[in-house]
């Protein structure tokens, strides 16, 4: 046991173990959000750093990634595109920030008046 401890200490002193962090860092690629699975309670923030997603609101349904129906009852926001807006961030499933710049948005939405039209097409 004593010999194992001495060998370990000697290997540390002679540089046998590389304990210093590597200088090379790999670029981490973040996959795009699965827009078609977003459903449930949504909190809208004014602070872009707190948002999970940057969202752009489209004027036309054809150019949107997701059609959203604003559901009044949280229990019915159980399908993709059915969003219940909440005033409490703690009660939300995800947080969005609405941007006016489409190129900085993670995805775009179109508000529909019919719940059955919500989701991806």
2-6, 38-42, 89-93, 115-119: lowest mean pLDDT where?
2-6
Q: Which residue intervals of 19-74 are DSSP H helices?
A: none
Which string of DSSP letters, residue by residue, matches 44-59? E-S-GGG-SEEEEE-S
How many Cα atoms sit within 13 Å of 98 on the Cβ side? 7
Name the pLDDT band for 25 (thresholds 50, 70, 90): very low
pTM to 2 decimal places:
0.71
pLDDT at 26: 44
Q: Which residues, at least 6 apart from 96, have a Cβ–Cβ distance to it below 8 Å?
A: 42, 43, 44, 45, 51, 52, 53, 54, 55
């Amino acid at each position: 046991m004593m010999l194992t401890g001495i060998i370990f200490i000697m290997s540390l002193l002679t540089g046998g173990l590389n304990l210093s962090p590597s200088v090379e860092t790999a670029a981490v690629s973040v996959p795009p959000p699965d827009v078609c699975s977003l459903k449930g309670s949504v909190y809208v923030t004014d602070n872009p750093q707190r948002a999970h997603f940057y969202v752009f609101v489209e004027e036309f349904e054809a150019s949107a990634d997701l059609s959203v129906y604003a559901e009044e009852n949280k229990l019915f926001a159980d399908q993709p595109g059915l969003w219940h807006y909440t005033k409490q961030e703690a009660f939300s499933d995800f947080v969005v920030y609405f941007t006016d710049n489409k190129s900085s948005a993670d995805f775009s939405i179109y508000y529909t008046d019919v719940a059955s039209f919500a989701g991806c097409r």
